[in-house]
Amino acid sequence: MPEGHTIHRLAQDYAAAFLGTHPRATSPQGTFAPAATLLTGAELTRTEAHGKHLFLGFRDTDWIHIHLGLFGKVTFGPAPEPPPTGTVRLRLANDTTYVDLRGPTTCALITPPEKQAIHDRLGPDPLRGDADPDRAHRRITRSRTTIAALLMDQKVIAGVGNVYRAEVLFRHGIDPYRAGKDITPAEWDAIWTDLVDLMHEGVRNNRIDTVRPEHTPEAMGRPPRVDDHGGEVYVYRRAGLPCHVCGGEIRTAGLAARNLFWCPACQRP
DNA sequence: TCCTTATGTACAA
DNA sequence: TGTACCTAAGGAC
């Protein structure tokens, strides 16, 4: 589930359900139990996301820092809360809603300076109003690393994951192996603007859709998607299938322990 | 029931 | 670059 759009959506959803209330906090699985006890009865005053990091603010001073990692999941449900099933790390519950967190890489109580340190090590986030795309561009244009690796580096740009990386490079016809220093300012402008749009749509729909109207299954007279990751995409997890635009075969390769997907015909070196 | 896989990251060597 | 860690679902047997 979790690229930046998921986390920003969760910040909104936690706020909608719990802001201004004093939820009960529990950790049925146990790991977070001491912190949950400290927070029970505290008001949720703010929620915030930066890249793939989620922050829940209590009493204006105590923050829960959540990172879902690859496996973390969050599920909301209506009150009354049922007995927890499986390994629930953190449950918040008030009179109307409960929410369960499972399998996060990180769920910790942190101080404002600790929170600031996390912001300081993250690059600009296309979903945040305070983001400065030039900061990302400066790092990219000084680097011999591939643009595919740079887009996944959270210090360079925060919130982009394996799906948005593959899709945005396809949409701009950029070979994933091109060095960052060879990305032109015009190309970076277009990539950043596109990510802002795509990721905002991702927050709205709670899924990743990247296919332009003229290339949808209906427009192209092809069968609808078969992938189950949730959205309509050009190349992500489509290795061996025909490109939606040129009909050529989508290719895959490993890059820094992740699977890269691209169309060699549409994304020429 | 076992094996593989996944939208992620940190740390060791 | 490799490996360890978080968890659940789907497919192969």
Q: Annotated active-site positions of A, please?
A: 2-3, 52, 258
Residue from A123, A119, A170 nearest A148 by CA: A170
Closest residue, CA to C1' of C2: A257
Determine the Cα–Cα distance for residues A67 and A83; give it in Å rounded to an integer: 24
Residues A53-66 pLDDT 10s: 999 999 989 999 99
Chain B nucleotides reached by a protein CB under 7 Å: 6-10
pLDDT at A214: 93
Distance A154 CA to B9 C1' (A): 10
Residues A203-212 pLDDT 10s: 999 999 999 9
CB atoms within 10 A of CB A229: 12
pLDDT at A228: 57
In this model, does residue A217 exceed pLDDT 90? no
In this model, does residue A23 exceed pLDDT 90? yes
Measured CA to C1', what is the nucleotide nearest A122?
B9
| H or E element that contains A114 | helix A112-121
pLDDT at A12: 98
In this model, does residue A224 exceed pLDDT 70? no
| A84: CB partners within 8 A, 6+ apart | A26, A28, A91, A100
Whose CB is within 7 A of strand B?
A: A 1-3, 6, 51-52, 67-71, 105, 152, 154, 161-163, 208, 229-230, 237, 257-259
Residue from A212, A146, A135 nearest A174 by CA: A146
